[in-house]
Structure 1
Amino acid sequence: MIKNIAIVMGGYSSEVNISLVSGNVVYNHLDKEKYNPFRVHILKDKWVALDDESTEYPIDKNDFSFLLGDKKITFDCVFNAIHGNPGENGELLAYFNLVNLKHTSAPYYQMALTFNKRDTLSVVKEYGIKTAISIYLNKGDEVDVDRIIAKVGLPCFIKPNNAGSSYGISKAHTKEEILPAIEVAYKEDSEILIESFLDGTEVSVGVIQYKGETKVLPITEIVSENDFFDYEAKYEGKSQEITPARISEEEKLRVEEVAEKVYKVLNMSGFSRSEYIFVAGEPHFLEMNTVPGLTEESILPQQAQASGISLSELFENAIESALK
């Protein structure tokens, strides 16, 4: 029997438009002979399912169904394509758990944990994973710029604790740039992270569940034309994404080992893409994305294709893994 699949996209964060693009790519690549997919927009002002003509049908939040004419449509599985709040931070997935709906992401607690950069770092450090030196601030905390510099040095990165797609991130080169950068970060989140600058090769490592096993995908080297891998570099062509990365075999094996360990330590399932910077040959973990970009140009799909996995196979595997 053909399964009804809800592809949720949109969200409540600055990443809403990126999510809509990702969700439509999933919709276009799913095999319509195996699945009956519906795009579902989860937006601040409405939850609606769309038909092929983009006619909107309100979602009944009691059981995540909708009426198509006089027929009630329920779903066998949800494909999560929401970057940020509420899809990547666990909120929507906790709701799916309550209404007994299977989905393609990790359990809601793991999603909430990995979306919080500070808490993720605190867990992986306990397992010997190397990271940048960091300071954590809540909005309203006293800001001692001299203490920040004494701990993390200059330059340093100032970023929202709970945000994605490099929104709100700044690289401060001088003491005078720190306070304005903090204000930029606070526009995205009430919690921020200030991290030391790691000078080395940056790589992105996809780790997924594929056919019942944990699979590390080919590694991508990130070469930004900008000062760092910011929004413009990620989405407006201001970077080179080189797969496979131009790193030594020893470095490749080491970062694969660390990335798989991080995935398992955090009890992950489904998609993940983590960023690392090599310092003296040792990969330092930056953060994990659990709903990475899913367009044809996005890093994780590039890595999958380099591994011989098409977009259709990648998305179908996520659904079949969730259904099992």
Structure 2
Amino acid sequence: MTNVAIVMGGYSSEYQISLKSGNVVYQHLDQNNYRVFRVHILPEKWVYVNDSNEEFTINKNDFSVEVNGSKITFDVVFNAIHGTPGEDGLLQAYFELLGIPQTSCDYYQAALTFNKRDLLSVLKPYGIKTATSFYLNLGDPIDANQIIEKVGLPCFVKPNKSGSSFGISKVKTFEELLPAIENAYKEDNEIIIESFLDGTEVSVGVINFKGETKVLPMTEIVSENDFFDYEAKYLGKSQEITPARISDETRIKVEKAAKKAYEVLKMKGFSRSEFIIVNGEPHMLEMNTVPGMTAESILPQQAKAAGITLPELFGNAIELALKK
């Protein structure tokens, strides 16, 4: 039987959401086909956690664990870590060096997509539209007039590398800009400031399903808050409508852009991209390569709308990783 390690946790503000995602995967992977182990990867410890919540230390030399005198190794890793080190390429590279297949994209794609600025720069030559943006690194002089002249008001200030909308602010007035920049620097030393795109926000899941690139039914995001922030994502302050209420013509354009991004980047596994549709044209905001897998999460909702059950969704990811 195949030994599967579900890695969850991580080193970022998103670790609790990741633990939830990992547990959902644990509950839904078919235990007739797989022997499934929950592995918590946290700054202070890497441990296998059994059903009685006992912890066994992972040996980082070969990613094995000793339980009651016998050594367990893993045939494949299901990556459920949002943020670092699971979504930025560090774990992907580690597992590649150890020769252990894992379910998410390769390390270069993970590092690239985790860096919003670099991702959008790479996709632009392929005709994928984006917001107008301004970049800042910690220590750069800040000329508020110059920034607003370029991106206009309102605008969004975001950490370049962070997830779950941590550190993002919508800036409506000149006075709000500097505090928003300070706030973003708490999450990352690089910032992206983007023009406000006034349109319909959609989240688009693209996966490799049984060897084919498949665009899932997209989700329209209608946030009660100013934008799709942490509260909107996890505390029910938004409506997520799947499939999105857009015309077939627009839907086809968004699907094309999302599929193109997935294929141009040579992605594998799961991805969920955010787009804002302005006058019928999709503009890409970002791509997540380890999207949430909790019961509330968007990608599982989309899979359900496509007629794919969670055991099928997660089992497919394992099978594709094993084939690599």
Interval containing the TM-score (normalised by the shorter chain): over 0.9
**How big is each residue's C-alpha offset from its partner over 1:176-219, in whole Å with a ceiling of 9 and x where there is no partner?**
00000000000000001000000000000000000000000001
User: Separation in 1 of the partners of 2:83 and 2:247?
Assistant: 34
**How big is each residue's C-alpha offset from its partner over 1:210-254, in whole Å with a ceiling of 9 and x where there is no partner?**
000000000100000000000000000000000010000100111
Quote how far apart the aligned CAs of 1:147 are. Answer: 0.3
User: Separation in 2 of the partners of 1:137 and 1:297?
Assistant: 34
Quote how far apart the aligned CAs of 1:93 are. Answer: 1.1
Unaligned runs of 5+ in 2: none
Equivalent residue runs for 1:1-324 within 5 Å: 2-324=1-323
Quote how far apart the aligned CAs of 1:92 are. Answer: 1.1
User: Separation in 2 of the partners of 1:314 and 1:140?
Assistant: 44
User: Separation in 2 of the partners of 1:217 and 1:71?
Assistant: 42
**How big is each residue's C-alpha offset from its partner over 1:254-278, in whole Å with a ceiling of 9 and x where there is no partner?**
1011110011111111000000011
Instruction: For 2:31, give the aligned amino acid.
Output: K
Q: TM-score, normalised by structure 2?
A: 0.99
User: Separation in 1 of the partners of 2:252 and 2:141?
Assistant: 43
Q: TM-score, normalised by structure 1?
A: 0.99
Residue aligned with 2:270, SS: coil
Quote how far apart the aligned CAs of 1:143 are. Answer: 0.4
Instruction: For 1:40, give the aligned amino acid.
Output: V
Poorly superposed stretches of 4+, deviation over 2 Å: none
Residue aligned with 2:274, SS: strand
**How big is each residue's C-alpha offset from its partner over 1:49-74, in whole Å with a ceiling of 9 and x where there is no partner?**
01111110000001000001111000
Quote how far apart the aligned CAs of 1:99 are. Answer: 0.9
Residue aligned with 1:313, SS: helix
Unaligned runs of 5+ in 1: none
Instruction: For 1:58, give the aligned amino acid.
Output: T
Residue aligned with 1:189, SS: coil
User: Separation in 1 of the partners of 2:118 and 2:72?
Assistant: 38
Cα pair 2:234 2:296 within 8 Å, conserved: no
User: Separation in 2 of the partners of 1:163 and 1:267?
Assistant: 22
User: Separation in 2 of the partners of 1:265 and 1:144?
Assistant: 35
Residue aligned with 1:143, SS: coil
CA RMSD of aligned residues (A): 0.5
User: Separation in 2 of the partners of 1:182 and 1:236?
Assistant: 25
Q: How many residues align?
A: 323
Quote how far apart the aligned CAs of 1:82 are. Answer: 0.2
Instruction: For 2:33, give the aligned amino acid.
Output: K
User: Separation in 2 of the partners of 1:223 and 1:59?
Assistant: 42
User: Separation in 2 of the partners of 1:131 and 1:94?
Assistant: 29
Residue aligned with 2:126, SS: coil
> Percent identity among equivalent residues?
71
Instruction: For 2:152, give the aligned amino acid.
Output: G
